[in-house]
Every structure is written in C-alpha cells, then in structure tokens.
C-alpha cells in the first residue's frame, strides 16, 4: 500500500506545484535554475513526507485514500510555501540589517500568517472529518499533531522564558 500512496502523492504534489511554486519562488532573491530545482525537490519531499506520515497513522479504507491525500496536500503545500516565504523574508532582513523595522512591522505580518495557517488547519480538519469515521479521526488528529503540533503558549505568557 505504501508504494501506491507514494506514487499517488508524487503525482498530486506535482500538480500542486504547477500553480503554487512560481509564486513562492518569486519571494526568493535571484536563484539559478539548479537552485530552483533543488528548492522544488526539497519542498516536494517535505510535503510528501508529511502527507505519508499522517496517512500512515490512520487505518484508511481504500475509498478514503485519495480524498484524504488530496485534503492533506491542499493543507501541507501552502504551509510549506509559507515557510519558504518566511525564510526568504528573514534572509532578506538579515542582509539589509533592518532591525528596528523588523520589530514593529513583523508582529503584524506574523499574526496574519498565524491566522492564515490556523484557517488552513481548520479547513483541512473539516474536509477530513467529512471523510473519516469517528475512530479514524482520533488517529488522524494524533498523526497531525506529530507532524504539525499546534502552537500553544504555556501559561499564556508568550513563549520561552515566560513573562520576565
């Protein structure tokens, strides 16, 4: 079954790249064709691994495989692309040395990204809930939390070190 999942995941992810990859790479500084191809492969592998990890954690019926796979790809592809954009922005800020602007303007951008990622997660959860049985949902949630842990603030203090 894993071989079938792998080949289907690769073909579906390739389709996703046709629409999403150029936008993500436009955030990068000038890249050589080799760097673009390497970035595509890393992104493809990352998405594929996440999808397969979640799917391996759920006992799926054969008719559920493709719908679950499509739903997971529709979640992981934009998440990974957002990560690429954030990395490119951090690199650009580091090169330009914009520390003061970074502190003020970044908070709003970070909050907007977090809201976008939370919406993507709730959307995929709704799609998956419509596909899976109750018993399978528990396995799905556990597998998703392994791959993409939800970010919680311990004690409401706002991160490592608390409210010093």
29 against 74, higher pLDDT: 74
CA–CA dist 123, 136 (Å, integer): 18
Residue 44 in any domain: the answer is yes
Q: Is the pLDDT of residue 90 over 70?
A: yes
Residue 52 in any domain: the answer is yes
State the total domains in the chain.
1
Q: Which CB contacts under 8 angstroms, 24+ apart, belong to 108-115?
A: 113/82, 113/86, 114/151
Residues 87-104 as b/e (b if ≥16 CB within 10 A, e otherwise) read ebeeeeeeeeeeeeebee
Tens digit of each residue's pLDDT (9 = 90 or more) over 18-34 = 455 555 554 455 678 88
Range among 1-15, 33-47, 55-69 with highest mean pLDDT value:
55-69
- Ranges of beta strands (E only) in 23-152 are none
Residues in the chain: 164
Residue 163 in any domain: the answer is no
Nearest-CA neighbor of 46 among 2, 23, 13? 13
150 against 104, higher pLDDT: 150
Res 24: pLDDT: 52
Q: Is the pLDDT of residue 163 over 50?
A: no
Residue 164 in any domain: the answer is no
Model confidence band, residue 50 (pLDDT cutoffs 50, 70, 90): very high
pLDDT, mean over the chain: 76
Residue 135 in any domain: the answer is yes
Res 74: pLDDT: 92
Residue 158 in any domain: the answer is no
Angle among Cα 41, 6, 48 to the nearest 5 degrees reads 40
Res 5: pLDDT: 52
Residue 74 in any domain: the answer is yes
74 against 101, higher pLDDT: 74
Model confidence band, residue 83 (pLDDT cutoffs 50, 70, 90): confident
Residue 157 in any domain: the answer is no
Cβ-proximal residues to 12 (8 Å cutoff; 6+ apart), any chain: 69, 70, 73
This prediction has a pTM of: 0.70
Res 67: pLDDT: 95
CA–CA dist 31, 12 (Å, integer): 25
CA–CA dist 135, 139 (Å, integer): 7
Tens digit of each residue's pLDDT (9 = 90 or more) over 106-141 = 778 778 888 988 999 999 999 999 999 999 999 999
Q: Domain of residue 130: give its range.
A: 2-149
């Amino acid at each position: 079954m894993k071989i079938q999942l792998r080949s289907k995941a690769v073909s579906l992810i390739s389709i996703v790249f046709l629409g999403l990859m150029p936008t993500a790479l436009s955030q990068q500084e000038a890249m050589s064709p080799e760097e673009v191809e390497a970035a595509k492969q890393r992104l493809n592998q990352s998405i594929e691994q996440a999808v397969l990890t979640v799917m391996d954690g759920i006992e799926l019926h054969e008719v559920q495989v493709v719908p679950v796979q499509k739903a997971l790809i529709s979640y992981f592809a934009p998440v990974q692309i957002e990560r690429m954009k954030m990395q490119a922005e951090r690199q650009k800020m580091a090169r330009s040395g914009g520390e003061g602007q970074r502190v003020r303007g970044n908070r709003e951008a970070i909050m907007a990204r977090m809201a976008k990622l939370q919406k993507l997660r709730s959307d995929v959860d709704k799609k998956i809930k419509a596909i899976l049985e109750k018993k399978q949902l528990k396995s799905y949630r556990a597998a998703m939390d392994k791959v993409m842990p939800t970010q919680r603030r311990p004690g409401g203090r706002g991160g490592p070190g608390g409210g010093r």
